[in-house]
A and B are shown apart, each in its own frame.
Chain A
Amino acid sequence: MPHYAKSEEWLRESQLILEARPTTTRITTKYAIKTPKQRKPKTDDDTPATTAAPKPARGFLTLKTYDPVSGVTLKYRTSKAAEVSRLIGCLGKLSRPMAGLPEQKDEVMTDAPAEEGTPAAEKSEAAATATTAPAAQQAPAAGGGKGKKKKGKK
């Protein structure tokens, strides 16, 4: 039962299993709210202090592709709100082979949530991807965005 670190990998593998078994494969999205364990505040906690501390409940989103016939299970787990719309976009993409429709190539990934009203942040992201673009021409835009997120965290 593999857990994937990247949603793109999960999406690709899920597409493959759906192509092979479109009738029996199902995708379950679990949204779980849990109370975080009480932990002693250790020093050197490298998570940014702004978000982690005051939250009373922590949510997780787990995407699972499961085919009961072959027993294949593919999972991806995240806790980032920023990923929700992109992941639902993935679900929409995966619904196409499920319905028996041909794959849509020209579909643009809806990455940054437009509703949150942060033109500045999005602009900076666009600029950031623009800088990386010449360096890695063939890297998809979504992958670039993801890398940026990780950099920001550290």
Chain B
Amino acid sequence: MGHLSNDEFFTKLVELFDSRKGKDHGHIYLTQKRLSYDQLPLPEPTSDTILPDLHPPRPLPVLIRATNGKGKENRAKKIKLSTVVDPNALPAFFERYADVCKAGMTTLKPRDRSKRKTKGKKKKTTIGAAGA
């Protein structure tokens, strides 16, 4: 399966998260690694650089995968997404990635606000007292 463009990947990822909404079970796996396949070969190791991958001559793209973890008997239901992010597009990609994940991961515990507010107020008064 070929890689999707970053935009398509996000569209499909939203769909993937939506497909788990309202369900009481399931998994979504997101993976990232350096894309080393199908790239220009790294320079030969020399005595200076025994491991040439530590300092590649040019930045390498990052491969992002997403799956719903189905396999074996559920192979037909498996959703597999992958995209390649260029090094210079990484910050923008992860910003959007965070938004999509935040919106998609709805079953996580929400922040408990009631207690924090009172605590914050108390702290504020102490600040005022210390300042005066």
- How many contacting A-B pairs (Cβ < 8 A)? 181
Contact (Cβ within 8 A) A29 B107:
no
The reply to whether the CB of A147 lies closer than 8 angstroms to some CB of chain B is no
Contact (Cβ within 8 A) A95 B94:
yes
Of the candidates A22, A31, A35, A92, the one whose C-beta lies within 8 Å of that of B24 is A35
Contact (Cβ within 8 A) B112 A153:
yes
Contact (Cβ within 8 A) A101 B87:
yes
The reply to whether the CB of A141 lies closer than 8 angstroms to some CB of chain B is no
Of the candidates B31, B34, B117, B127, the one whose C-beta lies within 8 Å of that of A22 is B34
Contact (Cβ within 8 A) A31 B28:
yes
The reply to whether the CB of B78 lies closer than 8 angstroms to some CB of chain A is no
Task: Output the residue of B62, B109, B123, B124 with the most chain A CB within 10 A.
Answer: B109
User: Of all chain A residues, which has the CB nearest B33?
Assistant: A26
Contact (Cβ within 8 A) B29 A29:
yes
Contacts of A144 in B (CB 8 A): none
B62-121, CB < 8 A from A? 62, 85, 87, 90-91, 93-95, 97-99, 101-102, 104-117, 119-121
Contact (Cβ within 8 A) B29 A128:
no
The 9 A-B pairs at the shortest CB distance, nearest first, are namely: A124-B120, A59-B107, A92-B94, A88-B98, A26-B33, A81-B108, A57-B24, A29-B30, A100-B56
Interface residues of B (CB under 8 A from A): 20, 23-34, 36, 53-56, 58-62, 85, 87, 90-91, 93-95, 97-99, 101-102, 104-117, 119-121, 123-124, 126-127
Interface residues of A (CB under 8 A from B): 19-20, 22-35, 48, 50-51, 55-61, 78-82, 84-85, 88-89, 91-92, 94-96, 98-101, 110, 113, 115-116, 118, 120-121, 123-125, 127-128, 130-131, 148, 151-153
**What are 7 A-B interface contacts by the 8 Å CB criterion?**
A29-B30, A48-B115, A81-B102, A100-B34, A125-B116, A127-B123, A131-B126
